[in-house]
C-alpha cells in the first residue's frame, strides 16, 4: 500500500460509534490502518482521541476512503485546500461534486477554514471568493446563500441542484473538508438522545410529552425559534383550538403547512365542521361537504387570509392567531388541493425555497401528522436542530427519524390528544376546558 495520509478523531468517539465506523470504513474499502495514538476518556464527560495512519493501494482509493472518513468526522492532520470546479451549466454539477451531509461542515479555501452556511443534506457547496468573481445568484432561485456578503470576505454555502448556475465554483472530491457530526452522548435514554428499541406506541406518553414541553420552554428561554409543520389531520382530530392557543401564547414562531390545513382550519371557524363533520356533535350536517369549497371561495373573494381576518370573516383558529400574532406561515401547494387559497404557493420549487428559509431559521421543529411537509422541511434541516415527530402511523415516524437528526424525539400517538396534553402541560388547562363531565351535565340539564 503506497498511498497514505494521517487522520484524527476527537470527542466521544467511542460512545458515538465514530471510532468503530472509522475502522470499519477503512477495512471495508480495502485499506489498512495503524493506530498511532489512542487515548480513551475514562469518565462521562471526558473526550477521547485517536490518530491513525490510513493506507490504500492507490491515491484514488485513498481519496475515496478519506471521503467516507470525512463524512463521519475523521479529519486529515495535514489538510489541503478544497478542490473547486466551475459548474458546466445551470442546474448541472461538475463530475465528482461533493454532496453534503446535514452535519456542521467546514471547507478549506485559500488556507482558511470557512464554515459552510445553511448546511443541509444532498447539496453542493459553492464558494464565493469575495473578490467579486463569483457571486451568489440570489435567494429567489433557491440559493441558500442569500445574505449580502461584503466584498472581500470569502464565503461557502450550500446550493441545491436547482439553484446551481453555470460558472458557480463547486467543491469537488474529498480534500479540504471537515465534518463535525453530532456525538450521541452515552446518557442516551432520554428523549433527545438515541431512541432505544425502535419507534413504538408502547412508551409512557405523558412523560414523553413533558419532555417535549420542557424542550419547547428551554428553546424559548434560549431565544430560539419553534417551527410547527402540520397537516389537516390535526384539525380533523380536534386539536385546532389548542394549537391556536399555543400560537397565541407565543410558543410557535413559524408555521409550515399546506393549502388543506388552512382551509380546514378556516372552515372549522366559519362552519364548525371539518371535512363536513361537526367537531362537537360528530354529526355530518347535510351540505357539510360544500363548506370546504365555500370557505375557499370566500377567502378568494376577500383577497387572502390576512384580508379575511381584517374583514372579520375569520375570527378564530390557527390561521387567525398566526395573522393576529405576526407568526409567518408558508402554505405550500399540492396536486390534491382544492382552490387553492390565494396565500398558497403553487410552484413547488418556490415553495421549497420558502420552506428552506423557515427550516434554516428554526431551532426546534414540531412535525405533526404530515409526512409530505415533514419530509420537505426535514430535507433542509441541519443535524443539530431539535426535532419532534408525532404521527399515529409508526412507519411515518420511523421514516422521519431516519433523516439523521441527532436531536429527535419520535412519538406514535394521537395528535388529537397530544396537542391538548402538550398545551395543558405548558400553559395549564384552558379555562373553558376545566369543567368535568359532572359540570357539563348540569349545563346539559339546563338545556333540556
- Restricted to residues 319-358, the positions that interact with a copy of itself (CB under 8 A) are 332-340, 346-352, 355
Per CB under 8 A, 58 contacts a copy of itself: no
Least distance in Å: CB of 320 to a copy of itself? 19
Least distance in Å: CB of 293 to a copy of itself? 6
Per CB under 8 A, 239 contacts a copy of itself: yes
Q: What pairing do the DSSP bridges indicate for beta strands 32-39 and 48-56?
A: antiparallel
Rg (CA), the chain: 25
The length of the chain is 448
Per CB under 8 A, 213 contacts a copy of itself: yes
Least distance in Å: CB of 175 to a copy of itself? 16
Least distance in Å: CB of 47 to a copy of itself? 12
Q: Which of 36, 115, 131, 429 binds a copy of itself (CB under 8 A)?
A: 429
Nearer to a copy of itself, 17 or 79 (CB): 17
Q: In the structure grid, which three cell numbers stand for residue 112, read together?
A: 482558511
- The CA distance from 376 to 49, in Å, is 37
- The CA distance from 126 to 145, in Å, is 9
- The CA distance from 356 to 162, in Å, is 13
- The CA distance from 331 to 337, in Å, is 11
Contact 408/195 with Cβ under 8 angstroms?
yes
Binders of a copy of itself: how many residues, by CB under 8 A? Answer: 135
Q: Which of 233, 257, 313, 318 binds a copy of itself (CB under 8 A)?
A: 233
Nearer to a copy of itself, 154 or 276 (CB): 276
Sites for a copy of itself among residues 172-211 (CB under 8 A): 186-187, 189-191, 196-211
Nearer to a copy of itself, 156 or 160 (CB): 160
Per CB under 8 A, 139 contacts a copy of itself: no
Contact 164/99 with Cβ under 8 angstroms?
no
Nearer to a copy of itself, 86 or 131 (CB): 86
Contact 345/333 with Cβ under 8 angstroms?
yes
- The CA distance from 303 to 437, in Å, is 42
Q: In the structure grid, which three cell numbers stand for residue 31, read together?
A: 485499506
SS3 at position 128? strand
**Mask for 302-321, x = binds a copy of itself (CB under 8 A):** --------------------
Per CB under 8 A, 64 contacts a copy of itself: yes
Q: What pairing do the DSSP bridges indicate for beta strands 364-368 and 386-391?
A: parallel
Per CB under 8 A, 420 contacts a copy of itself: yes
Least distance in Å: CB of 245 to a copy of itself? 13
- The CA distance from 215 to 117, in Å, is 25
Per CB under 8 A, 168 contacts a copy of itself: no
Amino acid at each position: 500500500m503506497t498511498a497514505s495520509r494521517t487522520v484524527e478523531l476527537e470527542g466521544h468517539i467511542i460512545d458515538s460509534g465514530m471510532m468503530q465506523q472509522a475502522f470499519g470504513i477503512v477495512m471495508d474499502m480495502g485499506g489498512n490502518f495503524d493506530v498511532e495514538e489512542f487515548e480513551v476518556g475514562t469518565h462521562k464527560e471526558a473526550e477521547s482521541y485517536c490518530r491513525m495512519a490510513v493506507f490504500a493501494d492507490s491515491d484514488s482509493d485513498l481519496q475515496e476512503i478519506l471521503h467516507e472518513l470525512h463524512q463521519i468526522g475523521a479529519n486529515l492532520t495535514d489538510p489541503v485546500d478544497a478542490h473547486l470546479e466551475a459548474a458546466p451549466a445551470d442546474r448541472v454539477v461538475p463530475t465528482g461534486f461533493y454532496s453534503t451531509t446535514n452535519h456542521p461542515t467546514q471547507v478549506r479555501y485559500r488556507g482558511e477554514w470557512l464554515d459552510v452556511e445553511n448546511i443541509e443534506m444532498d447539496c453542493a457547496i459553492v464558494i464565493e471568493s469575495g473578490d467579486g468573481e463569483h457571486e451568489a445568484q440570489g435567494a429567489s432561485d433557491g440559493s441558500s446563500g442569500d445574505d449580502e456578503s461584503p466584498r472581500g470576505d470569502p464565503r461557502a454555502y450550500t446550493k441545491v441542484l436547482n439553484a446551481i448556475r453555470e460558472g458557480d465554483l463547486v467543491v469537488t472530491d474529498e480534500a479540504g473538508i471537515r465534518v463535525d457530526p453530532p456525538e450521541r452522548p452515552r446518557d442516551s435514554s432520554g428523549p433527545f438522545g438515541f431512541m432505544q428499541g425502535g419507534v413504538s406506541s408502547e412508551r409512557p406518553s405523558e412523560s414523553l410529552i413533558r419532555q417535549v414541553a420542557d424542550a419547547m420552554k428551554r428553546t424559548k428561554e434560549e431565544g430560539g425559534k419553534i417551527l410547527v409543520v402540520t397537516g389537516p389531520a390535526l384539525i380533523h382530530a380536534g386539536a385546532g383550538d389548542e394549537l391556536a392557543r399555543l400560537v397565541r401564547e407565543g410558543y410557535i414562531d413559524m408555521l409550515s403547512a399546506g393549502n388543506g390545513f388552512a382551509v380546514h382550519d378556516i372552515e372549522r371557524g366559519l362552519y364548525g365542521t371539518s371535512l363536513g363533520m361537526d367537531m362537537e356533535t360528530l354529526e355530518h350536517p347535510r351540505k357539510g361537504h360544500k363548506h370546504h369549497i365555500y370557505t375557499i371561495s370566500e377567502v378568494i373573494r376577500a383577497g387572502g387570509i390576512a384580508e379575511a381576518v381584517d374583514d372579520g370573516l375569520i375570527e378564530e383558529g390557527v390561521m387567525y392567531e398566526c395573522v393576529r400574532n405576526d407568526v409567518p406561515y408558508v402554505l405550500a401547494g399540492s396536486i390534491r388541493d382544492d382552490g387553492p387559497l390565494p396565500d398558497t404557493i403553487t410552484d413547488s420549487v418556490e415553495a421549497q425555497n420558502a420552506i428552506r428559509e423557515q427550516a434554516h431559521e428554526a431551532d426546534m421543529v414540531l412535525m405533526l401528522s404530515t409526512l409530505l411537509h415533514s419530509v420537505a422541511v426535514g430535507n433542509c434541516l441541519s443535524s443539530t436542530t431539535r426535532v419532534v415527530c408525532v404521527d399515529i402511523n409508526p412507519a411515518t415516524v420511523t421514516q422521519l427519524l431516519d433523516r439523521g437528526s441527532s436531536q429527535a424525539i419520535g412519538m406514535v400517538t394521537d395528535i388529537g390528544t397530544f396537542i391538548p396534553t402538550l398545551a395543558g402541560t405548558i400553559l395549564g388547562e384552558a379555562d373553558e376546558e376545566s369543567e368535568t363531565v359532572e359540570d357539563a351535565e348540569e349545563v346539559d340539564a339546563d338545556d333540556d
